[in-house]
Amino acid sequence: MSVTTSTGSGLPETPVAAGSAHPRRWVALAVIAVAQLMVVLDATIVNIALPQAQASLGISDADRQWVVTAYTLAFGGLLLLGGRIADYWGRKRTFLVGIVGFALASAVGGVAQSGELLFAARALQGAFGALLAPASLALLTVLFTEAHERAKAFAVYGAIAGGGSAVGLVLGGVLTEYANWRWCLLVNVPVALVALVAALPLVPESRAHGNTRYDVPGALVITAGLVTLVYGFTKAAEDGWGATATIALIAAGVVLIAAFVLIELRSSHPLLPLRIVLDRNRGGAFLASMLIGAGLFGAFLFLTFYFQVVLRYSPVKAGLASLPVTAGVLIAATLASQLMPRLGAKPLMLTGAALAASGMLLLTRIGVDTSFPAHLLPAQVVLGLGLGFTFVPLSSLALVGVPEHDAGAASAALNATQQVGGSLGTALLNTMYTSAVTAYLASHLPPDPVTQVRGLVHGYTVAFAWGAGLILLSGVATAVLITVRRRDIPTGNAIHVG
């Protein structure tokens, strides 16, 4: 999984102590990294627990995607606002509020007795994560003012956060199998408590100066529009694409998103300055990011269910079985970092899209008893390699030609597009899955147990096929829109977390 975060709004920063480095900056780095790890691993740790959570709370197949999308919608929709709040309100204060809020939301989710309460808790986690993530990175930028030390700090931060997805897969499996799925959420409480106690004396406060106006209407409208659109996709799974409620919700979502664009055009302090998006290369990067997120997030969800429901893997085995994707991402990201100065971004992104789509297409060949070493392992490695070759160039393309004061917003926008794409893609793929399973069972009556399992597998393959199509579309967007030369690509400003 990729997470690209920013320092906030990109505004000038107040140094911790003029002319001197903070004496406890390396210990503060450890505290910040632990808090960020909590946010990063929360996506994958919940994926592994989802089959048990769905059964425990009686969540329908159409609604289960809200466990994922409630988090990613709130996180992606509020991330830019969170960056500005951190800059103006105070980075330490925002960091502490983010930790406390994330822990409380996790506790609510861990004791939830209904699907609706779990969805609400996940949305709260995403909202507080949107405060915590940009505040964390902004604090590092302020703490480490010397270029060499800052590079080291970002490398440590990136390595820890980059391993979060792998840690989440394994930890989620262990907690679900040997304790209870609820501990995949409750585990955040002691971690947050340790980070909070350590942060109070170790992390310094800082804030940006200048106009402190926030584009709250823009944040509320875009989040409402995205939630409405996802709800429309969910209703399509239940009632069909032609149902009045489905059409009305999707139309309302589109209208709200259009209203957000109008708000941003007229706002003196827009949440997302449209000049960032309207540049051809940056716009292509954001579109590609959204399409990759759409194909990727849903695929991970269905792979988890395939492992546990069809192949009958234990949660621990399912977590371990999902690691090849992470391994592929880390290998390719390392290679891409070395190759990009010589080849440029576009060739790597096109290669990555082709590889990732190929890996997804290999997953459409699964059956009720597919071999892991012969088929599932190579498919996941190919998928991970493709994603790794794509994520690294995207982080740099988001900053092509961006003025310094827009750098934070541009980098955060890349993360937001991936989260938003993941939300929409998960809802869309879940709808396609549900429709495919329903149609398969309707054509194979009476649906005996073997037929039901085959129906599930058919639904997974349809979802993987749609995921491959979305990733291929990202390649088309790259080929058509991105024209930047390799010497024009900036380095060092966007923080990529594999």
Q: In the chain, how many H helices and how many E strands? A: 18, 2
Per-residue pLDDT, 17: 45
**CA separation, residue 240 to residues 81, 188, 233, 398, 464 (Å):** 35, 38, 9, 37, 20
Q: Residues with Cβ < 8 Å from 159, sequence gap 6 or more?
A: none
152-182 pLDDT, tens digit per residue, is 777 767 666 666 778 888 999 999 999 999 9
The tens digit of pLDDT for each residue in 108-157 reads: 999 999 999 999 999 999 999 999 988 887 788 778 877 777 777 777 67
Residues 6+ apart with CB under 8 A from 258: none
Cα four-point dihedral sign 314, 294, 120, 270: positive
Tokens of 94: 């925002």
Cβ–Cβ contacts within 10 Å for residue 444, how many? 15
- pTM here is 0.86
Q: Is 75 helix (H, G, I), strand (E, B) or coil?
A: helix
**HEC per residue, the chain:** CCEEECCCCCCCCCCCECCECCCCHHHHHHHHHHHHHHHHHHHHHHHHHHHHHHHHHCCCCCCCCHHHHHHHHHHHHHHHHHHHHHHHHCHHHHHHHHHHHHHHHHHHHHCCCCHHHHHHHHHHHHHHHHHHHHHHHHHHHHHCCCHHHHHHHHHHHHHHHHCHHHHHHHHHHHHHHHCCCCHHHHCHHHHHHHHHHHHHHHCCCCCCCCCCCCCHHHHHHHHHHHHHHHHHHHHHHHHCCCCHHHHHHHHHHHHHHHHHHHHHHHCCCCCCCHHHHHCHHHHHHHHHHHHHHHHHHHHHHHHHHHHHHHCCCCHHHHHHHCHHHHHHHHHHHHHHHHHHHHHCHHHHHHHHHHHHHHHHHHHCCCCCCCCHHHHHHHHHHHHHHHHHHHHHHHHHHCCCCCCHHHHHHHHHHHHHHHHHHHHHHHHHHHHHHHHHHHHHHHCCCCCCHHHHHHHHHHHHHHHHHHHHHHHHHHHHHHHHHCCCCHHHCCCCCCEEEC
The ranges of the chain with pLDDT < 70 are: 1-22, 156, 158-163, 208-212, 404-408, 486-498
| Rounded Cα–Cα distance for residues 10 and 446 (Å) | 61
The distance in angstroms from the start CA to the end CA of the chain is 6
Record the tokens describing residue 291, joined without a space. 């399409």
